[in-house]
Every structure is written in structure tokens, then in C-alpha cells.
Structure 1
Amino acid sequence: MSASFNRFLAGVAVLTFSVFARATDLTIHLSGSEPISRHMMKYRCDAQGSKMGLPAEVFSVEYINGAGNSLAIVPVSGHSLIFANVVSGSGARYAAGGFIWWDAGGRGVTFSSDSIDGNITSECHRAE
């Protein structure tokens, strides 16, 4: 076989692998003896949420807490975004890029984003 044909086959193999290898696993090593807790909650948001990239149907958010960290993994525009807990006057407020996921306890959950059009907000509720 010619060298150019071998490069062509190698390129096809790389492209095929990249198309089928969509999921990515992540391992984070944290120091300390505090146990790590993980739990899933299901949510449904209003129509504004789907315009902002949240799933239109019921979706799951994974919460990971431990070793001084509080994270929420939220599906936005087909990606799993990792939100980190930030200072909040009440409830649990998480940020990722220009997005905020805020579980304000009895007041419900809001998903918001600052954009060129201003602050856009969606109201979300726990689903069973």
C-alpha cells in the first residue's frame, strides 16, 4: 500500500473514533478524609429553560459534595456542565460560565444567564 493511502486510512480511523467516542469520563482526586456524597434530583423547567438550553422534558441534575466542594452537573445544550457552589444569601447557588443554577429552598429553583439581551431566567421545579 502507498504511504498516502495509509495516511488516508489513519485519518478515517481517527474520524470514526471521534464520532463514536462522544462520552467523556472525568476523575477528580480530592484530599481529605471527608466522605463524598452524590445524589440525583429530577427537574422540569418552564419554556424559557428550553430556550436557554435545558432539556424540554424532565431531566436529572447530579449533586456532588465533599472535601470542601459542592458541585452540580446540569445538562445544558446537550453538554454536562459542572457548576460550582458560590456565595449565596440563601439556598445553594451554583455557577458555570455565564449560567447560574440556584436552588433557593422553599422558593424553588431558577436557572439564569446574563446575555446580550440582558438577564434571562427560567423557573424550575422538582419532578417525581
Structure 2
Amino acid sequence: MIRKLTGAAMALAAITAIAPARAETGDSLSIPLSTSTDIQRQTVAYTCKAKKGASSAKLRAVLPEKIVKVSYINAGDISLAVLRIDGKTQIFTNVIAASGAKYAAAEYVWWSKGDDAMFSSEMDASAMLTCHEIKG
């Protein structure tokens, strides 16, 4: 589902999508935008599996246990992916990619293309998860 939000609604869009309890306590994120900027938000649910190996299993443990929900927020030149890492909201920003949409935050990379995504750590090249969108 893609929704258009006003510039004022962007202030809490990233946080309330993933962590409504924190937003209620007054914590928020605000990104100033011109009033003419169209904002689109889409939340997608994924199931993620670790490739063989202990490092991939360790990486899998930083994501939510069963379903990984990702909020994609696009506002003009700003493209973000918001997801929970180790129980905390992380805001990933879009970076250059050969294909698909690649996002980075801290040591982590979220790379989506079509119905699939990959989650990896820049700290361990052997750790990688494959994720698939849950339809319906």
C-alpha cells in the first residue's frame, strides 16, 4: 500500500511505522521538506532465511524473529528503509546500486529487488540472509 503524506506527517512517519510506543513518549524524527514534496510510504513484510554458516545465523538473530517489516519512505530525493535491528529502529538510506534499491545503516545493508531482498553485514562478508516478500 502506498500512501501520500504531507510534509508535516513525515515528522513521525519513520518512527511510528515501526515503534509506535516510542513515538507516544515524545521521541520523534523530523526531516524538513518543502511543502510541495510528495511523500510515499509502503510497508512490506518479509520472511528471511540465513544461508549456511554460523555468521549468517548470528546475523539472522538481529532481525525480528518471524516476520521482518520494512517501511519504505520516498520523499523527493530522499529514499529510506526503516526496520528493526537488535530491537531498535534503524533508518537505512539509499545508496548507489547496479540494480534494485540498496540501503545502508551502521554496518548493515538491506538490498531489495522485486519480491526479494538481501540483508548483510559489512563487518562479515560471509554473513547474508535472503528474504522474500509475504503476499496477501
TM range (shorter): 0.7 to 0.9
Q: Secondary structure at the match of 2:128?
A: strand
Query: What is the match of residue 127 of structure 1?
Result: 134
Size of the aligned set, in residue pairs, is 104
Contact 1:71–1:85 (8 Å) recurs in 2: yes
Distance (Å, rounded) in 2 between the aligned partners of 1:56 and 1:82: 19
Distance (Å, rounded) in 2 between the aligned partners of 1:118 and 1:67: 32
TM (normalized to structure 1)? 0.72
Contact 2:47–2:132 (8 Å) recurs in 1: yes
RCO higher in 1 or 2 (8 Å CA, sep ≥ 6)? 2
Instruction: Give ranges in structure 2 of 5+ residues lacking alignment.
Output: 1-20, 51-56
2:44 to 41, 44, 54: 41
Query: What is the match of residue 3 of structure 1?
Result: none
Query: What is the match of residue 11 of structure 1?
Result: none
Percent identity between the two aligned chains: 38
Deviation at 1:28, TM superposition (A): 1.6
TM (normalized to structure 2)? 0.69
Contact 2:73–2:80 (8 Å) recurs in 1: yes
Give deviations 1:13-45, integer Å, cap 9, x for gaps.
xxxxxxxxx713222211362301111101111
1:83 to 92, 106, 123: 92
Distance (Å, rounded) in 2 between the aligned partners of 1:83 and 1:97: 8
Contact 2:109–2:122 (8 Å) recurs in 1: no
Greater C-alpha Rg: 1
Query: What is the RMSD of the two structures over their aligned residues, measured on CA atoms?
Result: 1.8
Query: What is the match of residue 71 of structure 2?
Result: 62
Q: Secondary structure at the match of 2:122?
A: strand
Distance (Å, rounded) in 1 between the aligned partners of 2:101 and 2:60: 22
Query: What is the match of residue 50 of structure 1?
Result: 60
Deviation at 1:81, TM superposition (A): 0.3
Q: Secondary structure at the match of 2:99?
A: coil
Contact 2:48–2:68 (8 Å) recurs in 1: no
Instruction: Give ranges in structure 1 of 5+ residues lacking alignment.
Output: 1-21
